[in-house]
Each structure stands twice: as C-alpha cells, then as structure tokens.
Structure 1
C-alpha cells in the first residue's frame, strides 16, 4: 500500500477498528467498505489496539493506518500520534468522518480547516460514579461538543436518541438520521438449537451496559424446555467484561449456554437457531443495537429495552416487544408472550430491511458525503 502517494475522498477516524468487534466498529467497517464499492477512496485511521494486526494494510479496498498505543485508560486508548496522523491525512482529503465517542474528536476537528466534517455520534458515555470518571465524562462531552460545532452534519442512529443526549442542544439543527448499516445474515441452519423449546439469543460484548444478568434472571422463570444462547466476546474487551457476574446469575442452570465469540461465518446459523432475540440494555451506552436489526432482518422478533434509540427498531417495525430496563418480571413476560405472539416474520423482516439494510444505509451515507464534498461546505466555527 502506497498511502503516502494517495489522496482520499474520505478519511475515517475512530479509536477501534477491525479486528476489534463492536457495534461501532462493525458500522464503521461496513460503511467504509460500502463507500469503496461505490467508487470512493477511503482511509481509516485508528489505534493499533491489537499488536497482532499490521500497522498498515488494505482491507476489502479500505486503506487502514493504525497508530501506536502507549497506554489504556478504561475503555480508552492513549495514542500520541493518532491526532496528528488523522489531521495530516484529513487535510489532504475531501471529507473527514469522525466516529464518536472519541476523546480526540475536538482536537482533530480544530486541526482540520476547509474540509467538511461528518461526526457520527453513537452515544453518550456513561461511567461509574467517582471523581475521576466524572472528569473523564466532562472531558469527553467538551471534546464532542467542539467536534459537533465544527461539523457540517452530526449523524445520529435515531432522532429519538439525539433528543435524549446530554449534547442535544449542541447538535440541534444539524442532525441527520443515519442508522448503522445491517448486514444480511440469512441462509443459516439452526445448528445451535437444542430441542424444540423456545430459544432466546443474545449477541454482543459481555459488558455492563448490556444488562445480561437481568436477561438471565428473567429467562430462568421460563419452562424447562426453553434455552438461552449468549454469544459474545469476554476475553478481549476494552474496559473489561462482566462475565463473572453473568455466570453468577446463570448458576448451574443447564438451559443457558455461553457460546463465547461467534465468528461472522457462524452468525447466519446463530440467528437461524433463535425464536426471539433479546437486547436487555440498561444505560445510554447502548443507543441502537445493530444485532437486533440483523435478527429482525432474518425473521426473528426482538425483545428490547425501553431506552432512547434502542427501542426504535421495534417501534418502527412492530416486530417485537419493549420492556423497561432491569425489569426481570417484564423480561420473563415479554419472552413468554413472544413465544406465542401472532407476528408475521416475513413482514417483520421486510420492514427491517427497508429501514436498515446495509446497501440502502450506505447509499444514504454516499449521498450525504457527495453533497458535502460538492458544496465544499466550511465547518461551522465554534
């Protein structure tokens, strides 16, 4: 890859990129690769969080530069060369795409002049109580506010979430709803099933904001034939996982299976094994839930928490049930209801595809980026 000789249409900046797996990195990856398929030249700059990955490579047409990480603070990484690297490449590009939360966003936005900026705001950061965490949150909010003020557009997964954000006033008037692009996971076989009973599934990082212990407690109120499949990494998680808390909730219940990381090629089989997908999130760190949309698109109804953004796929499609966060009895009732609910799987899948399928969502990104590039809109001065 001769990155130094290349001018890019879009430079994408985020702290973590593939091979790290999260909703944010997956959305960034699918969007970047989709833009390449549509003729854009795309560079991603991210932290070099995994020493096993190269510092520079090309992945499915996307050039990737990873900057050296010298320290980690909770879920964050410290990479002194990250900001100057992004600024250097963004100044030579036609558009800069920032994925927030990202502490460095404000500094990057201040360092880039004459280039349109799109700031995709995934969610507010919510940390445990304590003076240091409060300071971190304050710093993040201030940095994000600077980036939003200088951005031409603030892309949000839903206006529902944007209205609830701590930074709602800052982004007001410049938001555009662009949900995360969902990949088609159809065509799988039910290889994960164990019997004919209700099969409930979860997929995601095993972290605090997912509320998995409440899902487990609610599930355990179901009958003996029910099964709960929990897929997701808990070994390589920024900030650490809560796998022991989840295992404690499971106890010796043989109906619950911890699958660990589920590879991309196994995802169609995973979704094909489910009767219900559960997203029991408990706080604002979850603002959408890409996996719930992937489940809907293959005809699996969803039980989702009543949180801003998270509830919108169920609200807009009608394909599932919404429950209060941390409501164990509500979770049990919703799962029981969905087992016998008269839902049209074909119509539910169609509705989800029309709203969230990757091709149409990337088309919307491409149209926005093209419009901003052609207009050469100057960022709003903060």
Structure 2
C-alpha cells in the first residue's frame, strides 16, 4: 500500500504529534507499506528530501510563520503529485495547509483518513489566538471531507466541539509507543549520570515547554510537597529552550522557578534508552495540562510501562490512562492545592503494580497501532 502522510512538523522536531507520526510511519514501513511524509523545512539546515528508516520525507521551505503555523513554498504543486501517487492519504491535524490536500483528494478521488490530534486553544497575544482560530476554522472543511477520523480516545472526541458533528466516522486508535521496558541497571546508571541522591524523590515532567502544560501549577504546589518530602526534585525531560511560539511562557516559568534552585532540573531531550530509564527512575510523572490542546499525553503510557504512577489533570482524553489502569490520581484543573495533595499521597503510597494494567498498556505497542491503521486504510479503500 502506498501511504501519503502529512504533518506541519516531523522528525527531527520533537512533539507528541511528530513522534506519533514518526512511529506510525516507521511501523507501516516495517509491515511492508510505502510511506511518504510531506512536512516543513522548519530549520534551514534540514535536507529537502531524506530517508528516515525507510520513510521518504519531503520538506518544503517555510515562507511565512504565524505563531506555530507555517506556509510552505511549493507545497500545492507537490500535493497534486504525491496525492496522485498514493493509495490513501493520512493528514495529521492541526495543520494550517491541510485544505490543499483535501482539494487534491477530492479532485483525484483518493480516500482521506485524518488523524486529529487535538483542538487548538491558543494562549498569548492576539496574533497567536487569531492563528489558532484560523487554523481551526480551516480544518472544519477537512473534517467534513474525511472518510474516517482517528482520535486517541472517544472520550476526547465526545467533548470536542469540532469532532462532535463527526462522531459517526471517528475511530479510537491507541497512541503508539516503543514497547520496551528499562532495567534496574539502566535506572541506576541514569541516576548516577545525573547525580540523583538515593533518598531523592523524583517528580517527572516530559515533553516540550508549552503553555497548555500548566507547569505554573506544579510550581505553586511545590512548597507544600517540599514541606512533607524535602528531598523532592522535579526533573524535566524534553525540549526546555527554544520551543517555537513558547518564548514568553518559557520566560514566565523560569522567573517562577528562581526560589527553587536545584529542586527543579531540566535535562533536555534524551535518547530513547535514557527516556525509558528516566520514566523508571521517577516516583511519579506529573501531567498537569490545562485545556483541549492536550488530548491524551503519550508520556503517561510510557511512564506506566516502566511502573511509574501518573498524576494527571481530569481532562477528556488525558484522564483515560489513569482511569483504565488505576496507576495514579486525577486532579482538577488549575488547582495547585489538589495537585500537592495528590503528589504527597502518591509518594506516601509508592509504586504499586495493578492487575489489568498490562492488558490496557499492550494496546499502545506501535506495531499494533500500525496494524490498526492498515485496517482503517483497507476499510476506506473498499
């Protein structure tokens, strides 16, 4: 099967969406499909064409940047060619340029499967909010024309004002992860490399810095946590500096962190083996997201696979891993007091292995997710 995938950002960009798309593309190639990804040349040093583990990546120069969205030079002509090549087209939204692909799919009678990662709730200035609103409006046409829509959970879809009109063609598909468990030796080596003391309690944060992550509420919760567990340290794994469109939020968080010194430690983006050891080393993962721009949180599953409980916001979609596994606690949005109490209770309890969690987590193995995608593609091709 020849599959055309599109995403605004792709490898080496690091976000939940780009990692998701990469894992699905790689796994489909391993199953024998041909995959081409059209994306932006978001950095000028990136090659315009590249092979990544058998996935052909075609990048287009950015001619205009609006917040996190981009306009790409040469995309429209290339879309015509590559839609013609493909058996099926898979768009990963949000994506400002997505209507271009829809027009070509309609013109060339090609089936369209949309992977809808999240609604857009933009923070910041007027330009940011207008960019988010404009992108969301453009995507209404895409959702209307899609043959099928993939979402991480029906819980999220049922609460999204943009997906509600299309629930009949929404399919719940698990978020892909590498099904690999870390070892005690790898965790010990990780702790030694980053100089963590044996009695330290580690609260993990994973992912890029972004306003929807709600780090300010974790910072506000820290004094109460430290009063009970003074050896606690928040450790952030992921892109800490230079996230596109998040410069003002980054500055805000760094100002709030000034009083806490070494109680907050950013590690930067880690290789896969160290990410697994990081999740295994954490006493709890904190996922205090604030709005519908967060639809699930792939890092929750990655932490649970390593036996680590998660304290997550009670948001549609985001709450599903804790609900299904019992590994952690849910907290109300924007409530630092409740977050502190949940952290303390989780640290009191320690890591607990729960029967039934394994069966749920196995759904997220990237090979299984790719087979589900193959079945959906075959469905729309019939």
Deviation sequence 1:116-166 (CA, Å, 0-9, x none):
110010111112376545543443233211111111101011111111112
Q: Look up the match of 1:116.
A: 111
Deviation sequence 1:93-133 (CA, Å, 0-9, x none):
10000000011212321222311110010111112376545
Q: Paired residue for 2:49, among 53, 56, 64?
A: 56
Listed as ranges, the gaps of 5+ residues in structure 1 are: 1-7, 376-382
Listed as ranges, the gaps of 5+ residues in structure 2 are: none
The alpha-carbon deviation at position 81 of structure 1 amounts to: 1.8
Distance in 2 separating the partners of 1:265 and 1:54: 26
Q: Look up the match of 1:248.
A: 255
Q: Look up the match of 1:266.
A: 274
TM-score by length of structure 2 reads 0.90
Question: Quick check: 1:126–1:284 contact (8 Å CA) kept in 2?
Answer: yes
SS in 1 for 2:134: helix
- Mapped pair 1:65 → 2:58: yes
The alpha-carbon deviation at position 276 of structure 1 amounts to: 0.5
The alpha-carbon deviation at position 168 of structure 1 amounts to: 2.6
Question: Quick check: 1:76–1:238 contact (8 Å CA) kept in 2?
Answer: no
Q: 1:31 to 1:67 in 2, by over 3 A?
A: same
Deviation sequence 1:162-217 (CA, Å, 0-9, x none):
11112133322110001220223522324233332321100111111111121122
The alpha-carbon deviation at position 73 of structure 1 amounts to: 1.1
Q: 1:78 to 1:169 in 2, by over 3 A?
A: same
Distance in 2 separating the partners of 1:74 and 1:138: 12
The alpha-carbon deviation at position 365 of structure 1 amounts to: 1.1
Which has a greater percent of helix? Answer: 2
The alpha-carbon deviation at position 247 of structure 1 amounts to: 2.1
The alpha-carbon deviation at position 221 of structure 1 amounts to: 1.7
SS in 2 for 1:307: coil
RMSD over aligned Cα, in angstroms? 1.9
Larger displacement relative to structure 2 (115-124 or 165-174): 165-174
Question: Quick check: 1:205–1:233 contact (8 Å CA) kept in 2?
Answer: yes
Q: Look up the match of 2:14.
A: 21
> How many residues are aligned here?
367
- Mapped pair 1:169 → 2:164: yes
Residues 1-382 of structure 1: matches in 2 within 5 Å? 9-112=2-105, 113-128=108-123, 132-187=127-182, 188-190=186-188, 191-192=190-191, 193-222=196-225, 223-241=229-247, 242-253=249-260, 254-341=262-349, 344-345=352-353, 347=355, 350-373=358-381, 375=382
Larger displacement relative to structure 2 (41-50 or 254-263): 254-263
Q: 1:133 to 1:39 in 2, by over 3 A?
A: same
Question: Quick check: 1:145–1:170 contact (8 Å CA) kept in 2?
Answer: no
Question: Quick check: 1:314–1:322 contact (8 Å CA) kept in 2?
Answer: yes
Deviation sequence 1:308-367 (CA, Å, 0-9, x none):
111111111111101112211111111111113376326475144223222222221122
Larger displacement relative to structure 2 (104-113 or 277-286): 104-113
Distance in 2 separating the partners of 1:279 and 1:34: 27
Distance in 2 separating the partners of 1:322 and 1:213: 17
Q: 1:176 to 1:82 in 2, by over 3 A?
A: same
Larger displacement relative to structure 2 (39-48 or 269-278): 269-278
Larger displacement relative to structure 2 (295-304 or 49-58): 49-58
Distance in 1 separating the partners of 2:132 and 2:367: 35
Distance in 2 separating the partners of 1:72 and 1:137: 13
